[in-house]
Amino acid sequence: MPTEYQISSNIDLIIHLYNSSSPPPSPNEHTDSNDYGSSSPSDIIKYYVTAWSLQQASPIFSRIISPSPHFKQPSKIVYLGVECKSITLEDDCPHALSIVLNLLHLNTKSLPSINEISWNTFYDIAIIWDKYDISNLIAPPWLKYFQKVMNGVGYEGWLFIGKTFGEGEGYVELTARLIVEAGQNLSGKEAIEAGPGGVGFTRGGRYIDASGWPDSVREHITSENSNLMEKLRTILTTWKWSFKGKRPRALCTCYGNVPRYNRHTSLSNSIADLLSDESMTLSPQSHRAGNSNTSARVRLASRLRDIEGVANWQWNGSIVTLRRRMGIFRSCMGDRDMRQVKHMLENADIYDLCPLEESALRVLYDFDQTIETIRGIGIDGKIIDVPLNRLIEDAKTDPWNSKGDGKKWDSIAMLGVRISGIFALLSVVVFAIALGKGWGVKMVESGIVT
């Protein structure tokens, strides 16, 4: 790494960057030296710049370079025959600082190309930008490029970058996406082992450190994720306890309908598998996994003999993962959408729904209604509802979310209702006309109507 960065040819300011773990240099140690670089400590990195360029872009730099008369003034150093001010900065990324200084001096030819700058370096640039309150009238040329990848795992730091540079496009959707993709929140020993700061969660099988995000954004994501998960746990816990110690299969009444009975067998096993957990009473030794004489079906039946268990239903994964797992039930319900499901639940007696199927449909409907829209937050702190199908691909292609099919099905159903109503109305009209013309009396006398 270079120990010097020549940023400007019109030098009147020298910046010394050092790590706070090392002692700062003495401001008088190199005064009036024409060969300042060769005698400085090896851990000090120097930047030769023009003070005006920094003062115009950053009020923080302006106060450091030209503080109020009541404060200590920067020391002065003679460099190459020119008297320069000297300031000291701490703990900035050296490479990122050189890029920022080149940006402030409009040295476009000295900037790295998009292939030469990493995400970590760009994040460090944003940290410097925020630290020194640099004006967003000057925008890093790589901003739009990294904005395109902000939804990917590992790029969650965009929540800090977007707010720093005032780039709000896609920000609300990203926060909403993290709400449904965030896994178990980490605390205590897990957080310490996961990384510095101990503030984060799992996403896509990896730890995400959220300590650098804006506090309001991090708190909103954590709160919304917790609230939604609590609602979903309540739905599935209520379902679990509704079986009252019975296996789901006991609710099925479709013994005379072989196709439905077979389909509900698969549904029953899927329900039992989802609602069971490790807190349930262990199976007898002869039925535990690993016994070669026990079939998978027998082991499953033994493990889920009492689905009621000893605890409420729990889930440590993300909402997206749970929704995919709930898709097993959707496949057992056939080709339907939520409009149909709502109509069927409102008219369960007419559709003659099996109790097992009705319970699954009701849970699926309540589940999808709970996460139909996700409350994202913008860089301005405004809360905005985001439809789930804008966040995950599964919801975009899921026939259960299809609005068109639902309208078509509703239209057919309503056509039947309208036809029945028309026939009823015609019957009343015909009967009224008959009474008015005395047809009814003749019909009774002739024995047609008794």
In DSSP notation, 359-390 reads: HHHHHHHHHHHHTSEEEEE-TTS-EEEEEGGG
- Structure token digits, residue 121: 């370096």
- Do 366 and 235 form a contact (C-beta atoms < 8 A)? yes
Please give the mean pLDDT across all residues of the chain. Answer: 77
**Which one has a higher pLDDT value, 262 or 225?**
225
**CA distance linking residue 2 with residue 273, whole number of Å:** 60
Q: Based on the structure, what is the number of domains in the chain?
A: 3
At which of 135, 151, 173 does a domain end? Answer: 135
Domain boundary among 100, 135, 170: 135
- Find the mean pLDDT for residues 405-424: 51
Q: pLDDT (tens digit, 9 = 90+) per residue, 13-41?
A: 999 998 765 554 444 443 333 333 333 44
Residue 330 banded pLDDT, cuts 50, 70, 90: confident
* Same domain (yes/no): 312, 383: yes
Predicted pLDDT of residue 25: 47
Q: Which residue among 104, 135, 166 closes a domain?
A: 135
Give Cα 378 distance to the centre of its chain: 13
Residue 195 has which token pair? 């990384």
- Does one domain contain both 247 and 303? yes
Please check the confidence at residue 170 and state whether its pLDDT lies above 80: yes
- Assess whether 331 and 428 both reside in one domain: no
The Cα–Cα gap between 339 and 42 comes to 71
Residues 382 and 367 in one domain: yes
Sequential DSSP letters for 399-435: GGG-HHHHHHHHHHHHHHHHHHHHHHHHHHHHHHHHH
Provide the CATH number for the domain around residue 116: 3.30.710.10
Cα 343 to chain centroid distance, Å, stands at 31
187 in a structural domain: no
154 Rama class: left (phi>0) / alpha (psi -120 to 50) / beta: left
Measured distance CA(255)–CA(217) in Å, rounded? 53
Same domain, 356 and 438: no
179 in helix, strand or coil? helix
Q: For residue 280, is it within any domain?
A: yes
User: pLDDT band at residue 2, thresholds of 50, 70 and 90?
Assistant: low
Share of residues in the chain with pLDDT > 70 (%): 70
| pLDDT band of 130, cuts 50, 70, 90 | very high
Of 36-40, 116-120, 165-169, 248-252, the one with minimum mean pLDDT is 36-40
In a domain, 155, yes or no: no
Say whether both 389 and 414 belong to one domain. no
Asked if 358 and 274 sit in the same domain, the reply is: yes
Asked if residue 215 belongs to a domain, the reply is no
Confidence of residue 264 (pLDDT cuts 50, 70, 90): confident
Same domain, 352 and 338: yes
Mean pLDDT, to the nearest integer, of 335-362?
A: 80
Would you state the pLDDT for residue 10? 92
The answer as to whether 183 is a domain residue is: no
The answer to whether residue 152 is domain-embedded is: no
Q: What's the CA gap between 116 and 261, in Å, rounded?
A: 62
Sign of the alpha-carbon torsion through 167, 168, 170, 172? positive
> Does any domain span residue 186?
no
Are residue 357 and residue 435 in the same domain, yes or no?
no
Mean pLDDT of 264-278: 79
Range of the domain at 431: 407-445
Taking a C-beta distance cutoff of 8 angstroms, is the pair 371, 319 a contact?
yes
Neighbours of 365 (CB within 10 A): 16
Q: Which residue has the tokens 């699954």?
A: 360
How long, in residues, is the chain?
A: 450
Contact 86, 16 (CB under 8 A): yes
312 confidence band (pLDDT: 50, 70, 90)? confident
Three-state SS for 310-360 is CCCCCCCCCHHHHHHHHHHHHHHHCCCCHHHHHHHHHCHHHHCCCHHHHHH
**In 3-state terms, what secondary structure has residue 86?**
strand
Q: Are residues 320 and 296 in the same domain?
A: yes
Distances (CA, A) of 21 to 14, 43, 48, 347, 380: 21, 11, 23, 72, 36
Q: Residue 267: which pLDDT band, with cuts at 50, 70 and 90?
A: confident
303 and 377 assigned to the same domain: yes
pLDDT, average across residues 277-281: 39
CA-atom Rg of the chain in angstroms: 35
- Between 257 and 79, name the one with better pLDDT: 79
Find the range with the poorest average confidence among 280-294, 306-320, 372-386.
Answer: 280-294
Has residue 184 been placed in a domain? no
Same domain, 320 and 434: no
The CA distance from 348 to 335, in Å, is: 18
